[in-house]
Structure formats: C-alpha cells, structure tokens
Amino acid sequence: MIPSNIKLHRRRRTLELEYSLNGHAKTFEISAECLRVHSPSAEVRGHGKDQAVLQVGKRGVGLLSIEAAGNYGLRLTFDDTHDSGIFTWDYLHQLGRDQEALMLRYEQQLHLAGESRDDGVQVINIMPSKPH
C-alpha cells in the first residue's frame, strides 16, 4: 500500500502517512522511536534468524530526513546517524497499523533485558525478599 501523502513532523518526532482507500482516508502517525527500533536494517535485525539487536535509549530519537527509495519505499535518516534501512511501503503500513502492539512488545523486551527506552539509563530489577 502506497501512501497518498507523507509528512515528516520533526518537532513531534513522527512520520505521518495518509492512505486513500475507496474514497476514505486513513492516517497513521508513527513515532521516530518506533521506526528506529523496528528498522529493517541488518544493524537492527541482524543477518540471520534470532540475531536481532535490541535497540536501547531511543525514546528521544528524531528523524532528520526522508527520501524515496525507488518506487518501493523510503530511506529514513535518524538523528543518531542511523540511515541504513529501507522501509518498504508494505512495512510502513504494517508499522502504522501495529505500532501500539509493537511498542508494547518492545517495552517488554527492554524490561526483560534490564534496559530502558531512555539514553544512559540502566534498569535493575530487584525482587522483594520472601519472608522467612
């Protein structure tokens, strides 16, 4: 699905994608953080099965620019210098549609790893001691 309109909102750190389906408009506003931590690049996904690299400290990441990648998607440049992923039209639509669930799962992965969405923050999970 190719969006009919694309807007980069630098201050809000979002990418807005508008789709026209049978005369009806559907808009997704995807956070730069969601786009960054779900980048289709090898740096994020790895080079094989189960080689994905958990991205930490990306809450404040922003988008610097967007550019067409042929007729099949966008190349996004983030302010942490990441720019190696090509986001296909189908993948962007999926991210917009599933953003809430994807970010919830991402936050759960961070929690299990003792990591944070915030840069420079380490999380220590302390289990309460059991009474004797």
What is the pLDDT of the chain when averaged over all its residues? Answer: 91
State the DSSP H helix or E strand holding residue 87, giving kind and residue range, or none if neither.
strand 86-88
- Indicate whether 120 belongs to any domain: no
pTM value is 0.88
pLDDT digits (tens, 9 = 90+) for 1-59: 899 999 999 999 999 999 998 889 999 999 999 999 999 999 899 887 788 999 999 99
- For the purposes of burial, counting CB atoms within 10 Å of the CB of 2, is it exposed (0-12), middle (13-18) or buried (19 or more)? middle
Q: What CATH number does residue 84 fall under?
A: 3.30.2020.30
Full domain range(s) for residue 83: 5-113
The pLDDT confidence band at residue 130, using thresholds 50, 70 and 90, is low
- Indicate whether 77 belongs to any domain: yes
